[in-house]
């Protein structure tokens, strides 16, 4: 049986540092899958993740709308719709929206530790706003 859901009906995580929203549609809470995370992110213009790294976690960003820069040890690269960014485990990185940004994010495995290299502990705090999880079809 298929499950249908819209991002507006799913639990949302809103960053305590303004400008970022995360909506997972694959997680232990929603789909009882604990070995990966997948969802969409919305950044307001100027919003950015802290410069950070994830131990034991690789992830992908697929930019659907907007423009951003990805910062790594190699420098800063502009990205936009259609670009996919692969972040290897332990790669230092930051994503910054240069205009409103909408992208898909996939992380695996879902057993990782984030280390902030430039930012504050508040950069990792998210307020959960419950949604209607899903509707079976």
Which residues sit opposite 102 in a β-bridge? 42, 65
Domains and CATH numbers, the chain: 25-136 (2.60.120.10)
Omega before 109 cis (within 30°)?
A: yes
Per residue of the chain (137 residues), what is the pLDDT tens digit?
Answer: 567 777 888 888 899 899 999 998 877 777 777 788 889 999 999 999 999 999 888 989 999 999 999 999 999 999 999 999 999 999 999 999 999 999 999 988 877 788 899 988 888 888 888 866 544 33
Q: CA 35 from chain center: how many Å?
A: 16
Residue 15 in tokens: 């960053």
pLDDT for position 137: 34
SS3 8: helix
pLDDT at position 49: 94
């Amino acid at each position: 049986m298929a499950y249908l859901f819209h991002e507006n009906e799913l639990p949302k995580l809103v960053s305590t540092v303004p400008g970022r929203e995360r909506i997972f549609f694959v997680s232990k809470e929603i789909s009882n899958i604990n070995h990966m995370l997948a969802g969409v992110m919305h950044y307001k213009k100027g919003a950015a993740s802290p410069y950070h790294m994830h131990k034991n976690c690789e992830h992908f960003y697929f930019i659907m709308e907007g423009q951003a820069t990805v910062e790594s040890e190699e420098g800063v690269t502009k990205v936009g719709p259609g670009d996919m960014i692969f972040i290897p485990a332990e790669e230092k990185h930051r994503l910054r929206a240069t205009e409103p940004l909408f992208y898909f994010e996939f992380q695996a495995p879902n057993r990782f530790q984030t280390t902030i290299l430039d930012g504050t502990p508040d950069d990792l705090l998210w307020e959960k706003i419950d949604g209607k999880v899903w509707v079976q079809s």
